[in-house]
Structure 1
């Protein structure tokens, strides 16, 4: 029997009708049985990173977010692309967590899912987030990549659930690969 893994879902959008948040809510229906998916605290409550604030003590919202990351075996970032890159609110959250010691992201397994109204589904953001995750020492699943382009044509209404069966199958396969990589990472840590 395979190991059960706790996987933290980090949503990079604050918009109420975010397609990315809607996709994040569907992941539990698509995930293999050995992934226990939980949601990270909202990153919208974190103050802007400021070293003066850090020097006075990490805010409780930052600690809560970091604790959720520490408790997870794996991470799934579900996020849109803003101006060809990572949304500022997500980058801010990563910057805060990167300052803690021991660093909560260190040696985690992760994956990225993005959706956008454009044709390439957040590919440029994924490239940038992958660069940031190298600095965090997060081991990302490389394939299959999930970039849901023209998401508005694959969902039920504005910000609604995905209905496109091909996309749902592709996401399910991505989650199976995440589970496989988590198992390999777990075995390596136990050796």
Structure 2
């Protein structure tokens, strides 16, 4: 049985280093794990006045529902998480009883300047408490988005960070088994 993981990246730019982290994870998922990528580019901001969910939102919600676990790729905008990532979680959390998120294991990775999205990841962890997501504590994946760790197209080329991602994905598999029995 394959572990179905939904990767949700808060950066919308194709050549972003966060998408580079996600692309590496998708291409290097361990045996028994399938990673599906959510497309947030057309998802409108959550608004309770929207009574008929757009097709892009319905697709996203179906992806959350089908996922056994989440891979949250968290850029840092102004010391916090990117609005696109927060918005995706906001849409999913509004489903009855938070059924699309509650109890799901999740891993976080991210790239940014300075401390490599650590502040944004901390804010995401705070939101995860309310959402009842079970965030994997270790290994953590932080990358400096403005370093030689990435090529000009945002692809991850740093062997040490690649190894951390492979370890994080293996740990997410084990975390899922531990939580779900």
1:33 equivalenced with 2:31 (yes/no): yes
Runs (4+) off by over 3 Å: none
Matched length: 180
Normalized per residue, the structure richer in helix is 1
Q: Distance in 1 between matches of 2:35 and 2:78?
A: 29
Which residue, 76, 97, 105 being the options, matches 2:101? 105
1:6 equivalenced with 2:4 (yes/no): yes
Runs (5+) with no aligned partner, structure 1: none
Q: Considering only aligned residues, what root-mean-square deviation do their CA atoms show, in Å? A: 1.5
Q: What secondary structure sits across from 1:166 in the alignment?
A: helix
1:71 equivalenced with 2:69 (yes/no): no
Matches within 5 A, 1:34-73: 34-40=32-38, 42-53=39-50, 56-73=51-68
Q: Distance in 1 between matches of 2:157 and 2:110?
A: 16
Matches within 5 A, 1:9-24: 9-24=7-22
**TM-score, length basis structure 1:** 0.88
Task: Give the structure 2 partner of residue 182 of structure 1.
Answer: 176
173-182 vs 56-65, greater mean Cα deviation: 56-65
Q: How far does the alpha carbon of each residue in 1:88-125 deviate from its partner, in whole angstroms, 9 at most, with x for none?
A: 12212211221111421111110101011x23100000
Q: What secondary structure sits across from 1:153 in the alignment?
A: coil
Q: Distance in 2 between matches of 1:62 and 1:88?
A: 15
Runs (5+) with no aligned partner, structure 2: none
Give the superposition deviation at 1:158: 4.1
**TM-score, length basis structure 2:** 0.93
